[in-house]
Amino acid sequence: LTNNNNSKRLLERLGLVYVQNIMVDGEDLMLYTTDKVQTEIDLLIEAYYAFFKNTTQEWEMIQRFFTVKATITKVTEGNMEQLDVAGFLLPRKKLLTNGTLTDFSEVEIKRHTQIEGRIAHRLSGYRKNGLWDGKLYAGSGTKSFQLIKTTHGWKIHSLIWNDTVLNTVVEA
């Protein structure tokens, strides 16, 4: 609870650091951690993955995750496609809003973060699934996030990804 000063003081005496307020089941709670920087990066990457859903309304809000000159690179067999944030968003927004890809979710399943001052690298394994034209769709892959600590918090400056497993099942 955000107004429990005795608990706040105890947490701080135990070496925990306040990160931010969070909502859990409609209740405003304070998030404390032993590693504030790691937790800030974890929250950013978690929000990035959660952004790509069929229920997303404010697509332009994706920019909040990225620096102004961020690049996104998709690596495929023998090819590389480099995009800016707008170029990356356009086809995903279309797929998630025109009924082609429904019930979509993408989640991080493993991670390794290296932090050096105001720069960080996150190697992230992910799994995704949904319905593509009514057929089960599943895949997994790896994303490499290069992050920079700005005056507005941690931001993604470069993202490189490679889908390693794609599988479409004929009937849903």
- Give residue 155's identity as a one-letter amino acid code: K
Which pLDDT value is given to residue 28?
85
CB 126 within 8 A of CB 159: no
The stretches of the chain forming alpha helices (DSSP H) are 5-13, 36-51, 85-97
Which pLDDT value is given to residue 19?
76
Structure token pair of residue 168: 């479409």
* Whole-number Å distance between alpha carbons of 75 and 59: 24
- Give Cβ neighbours of residue 19 (< 8 Å, ≥ 6 apart): 31, 32, 33, 36, 39, 40, 43
Q: Is the pLDDT of residue 150 over 70?
A: yes
CB 88 within 8 A of CB 60: no
Q: Read off the DSSP letter of residue 53.
A: S
Q: Which residues pair with 33 in a beta bridge?
A: 17
- Give residue 100's identity as a one-letter amino acid code: T
Q: Is the pLDDT of residue 71 over 60?
A: yes
Which pLDDT value is given to residue 12?
78
For the chain, give the percent of residues with pLDDT over 70.
94
Q: Is 110 exposed, middle or buried (0-12, 13-18, 19+ CB in 10 A)?
A: exposed
Least confident of 12-16, 58-62, 89-93: 12-16
3-state secondary structure of 89: helix
Q: Is the pLDDT of residue 172 over 50?
A: no
- Give residue 111's identity as a one-letter amino acid code: R
Which pLDDT value is given to residue 53?
83
Strongest mean pLDDT among 18-27, 54-63, 66-75, 76-85 = 66-75
Which pLDDT value is given to residue 167?
66
Least confident of 6-15, 59-68, 78-87, 128-137: 6-15
Which pLDDT value is given to residue 32?
82
Average pLDDT for residues 45-69, to the nearest whole number? 88
Average pLDDT for residues 52-72, to the nearest whole number? 88
